[in-house]
């Protein structure tokens, strides 16, 4: 007995699979053996059918993807099922499959279509007949793969979630199944409640604001959206005003010879050693010598700080142990919305590494408070 026989087949078909009656008939008619043959790792693109239940309504422009496949090759295999396994799980879709296909793509429809457009002879595949035994499970497999890659258009994602909601019965059950918060599901489904006019503007309006007004009556949605956009514009104008005011203060300080001593700027002090090495220069020495050549620091303890120190430009510690103060500081200093949410995204990933459960609970709390805040 070979080592492979002793170990047995892996999950994705490292060994032989049971042969269906249809494949046995094909083998008898063509003389091509099917019993004991391991699943392929590459297939011609025209032997793989596109998935009739693909959550995407359109694959979009594939020019760039086709060019990348042709120039750099395929980096990740697409997931496919044997035609027989797919038809068994989704018999009503058999007539929609491509006639000569032996497999059906579950995850990777865009890459398959791009490979055809690029004229590739073969495409890398991973054969997995465990993607689902029902049409609902197949839809879920395709949806989850696209969600984790953030690879669906907003309305396509909402429509797929609506189909899954009918299966799982509640937003809470669906959120648990997808490992998302209930608020995450609710926000995306809200797009289906938008008027057709607002749905047509999804790619032109802030998606978070559209989701916020999606649960309002249809005749109030347009006015609510405009109000939220005006609020956002006012906040942005206020940020620009504060930025301009700080610029004026800095310019005035430079003209008075007080460069770097504007109030409100924090310096990050990593350790106590940095504090120990700071000394205050006597006023007599400041008047006696120019500021361009600083004197060497003396390793003597710094004098106790007073309230007047900040006005004189003394560096203050970032309040790492005061979450509220630190959040207010970041909100004030990070003026660009893009940078602010990029920071939140990074912190979210770090929070997931620390305690994914606590992060999920926090996201659920935030999502539940968002409708009230939006009103």
The residue ranking higher by pLDDT, 28 or 332, is: 332
Question: Nearest 5 degrees, angle CA 19-CA 24-CA 30?
Answer: 135
Q: How many CB atoms lie within 10 A of CB 216?
A: 19
For residue 222, what pLDDT is reported? Answer: 93
| Listed ranges 27-41, 171-185, 282-296; the one with the highest mean pLDDT | 171-185
For residue 189, what pLDDT is reported? Answer: 93
Give percent of the chain with pLDDT exceeding 70.
66
Mean pLDDT of the chain: 74
Which DSSP state fits 104? Answer: E
Q: Looking at the predicted structure, is the pLDDT value of residue 259 above 80?
A: no
DSSP collapsed to 3 states, 241-299: HHHHHHHHHHHHHHHCCCCCCCCCCCCCCCCHHHHHCCCCCCHHHHHHCCCCCCCCCCC
With beta carbons less than 8 A apart as the criterion, state whether 80 and 104 touch: yes
Query: Residue 281 has which token pair?
Result: 């220069």
350, with CB counted inside 10 A (0-12, 13-18, 19+), is exposed
The tens digit of pLDDT for each residue in 45-99 reads 999 999 887 777 677 778 888 888 988 888 888 999 999 999 998 888 889 899 8
Please list the residue range(s) of the chain that carry CATH number 3.90.1530: 40-151
Q: How many CB atoms lie within 10 A of CB 132?
A: 20
Query: Residue 293 has which token pair?
Result: 């050549």
The tens digit of pLDDT for each residue in 337-372 reads 778 888 888 888 888 877 777 787 788 667 665 544
Stretch among 23-32, 92-101, 146-155, 194-203 having the lowest mean pLDDT: 23-32
Residue 295: pLDDT band with limits 50, 70, 90: low
Provide mean pLDDT across the span 290-311.
50
Stretch among 137-146, 180-189, 309-318, 324-333 having the lowest mean pLDDT: 309-318
Angstrom distance (rounded) from CA 100 to CA 98: 6
Angstrom distance (rounded) from CA 191 to CA 212: 9
Class of the 40-151 domain?
Answer: alpha beta
Angstrom distance (rounded) from CA 276 to CA 307: 19
């Amino acid at each position: 007995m070979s080592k492979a026989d002793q170990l047995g087949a892996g999950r994705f078909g490292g060994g032989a699979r049971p042969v269906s009656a249809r494949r046995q008939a094909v083998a008898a008619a063509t003389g091509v053996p099917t019993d004991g043959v391991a699943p392929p790792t590459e297939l011609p693109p025209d032997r793989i059918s596109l998935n009739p239940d693909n959550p995407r309504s359109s694959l979009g422009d594939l020019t760039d993807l086709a060019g990348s496949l042709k120039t750099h090759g395929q980096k990740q295999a697409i997931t496919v099922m044997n035609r027989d396994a797919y038809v068994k799980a989704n018999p009503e879709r058999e007539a929609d499959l491509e006639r000569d296909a032996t497999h059906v793509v579950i995850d990777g429809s865009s890459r398959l279509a791009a490979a055809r457009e690029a004229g590739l002879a073969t495409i890398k595949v991973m054969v997995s007949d465990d993607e689902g035994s029902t049409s609902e499970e197949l839809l879920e497999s395709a949806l989850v793969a696209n969600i984790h890659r953030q690879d669906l258009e907003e309305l396509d994602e909402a429509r797929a979630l609506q189909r899954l909601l009918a299966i799982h019965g509640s937003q809470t059950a669906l959120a648990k199944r997808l490992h998302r918060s209930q608020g995450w599901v609710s926000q995306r489904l809200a797009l289906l409640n938008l008027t057709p006019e607002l749905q047509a503007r999804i790619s032109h309006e802030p998606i978070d604001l559209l989701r916020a007004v999606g649960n309002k009556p249809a005749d109030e949605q347009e006015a609510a959206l405009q109000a939220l956009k005006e609020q956002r514009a006012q906040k942005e104008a206020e940020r620009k005003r504060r930025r301009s005011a700080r610029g004026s203060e800095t310019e005035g300080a430079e003209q008075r010879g007080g460069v770097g001593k504007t109030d409100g700027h924090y310096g990050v002090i990593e350790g106590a050693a940095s504090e120990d090495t700071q000394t205050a220069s006597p006023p007599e020495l400041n008047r006696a010598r120019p500021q361009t050549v600083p004197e060497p620091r003396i390793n003597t303890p710094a004098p106790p700080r007073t309230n007047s120190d900040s006005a004189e430009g003394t560096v203050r510690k970032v309040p790492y142990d005061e979450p509220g103060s630190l959040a207010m500081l970041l909100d004030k200093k990070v003026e660009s919305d893009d940078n602010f949410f990029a920071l939140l995204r990074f912190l979210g990933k770090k929070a997931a590494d620390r305690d994914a459960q606590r992060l999920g609970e926090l996201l659920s709390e935030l999502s539940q408070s968002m409708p009230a805040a939006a009103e």
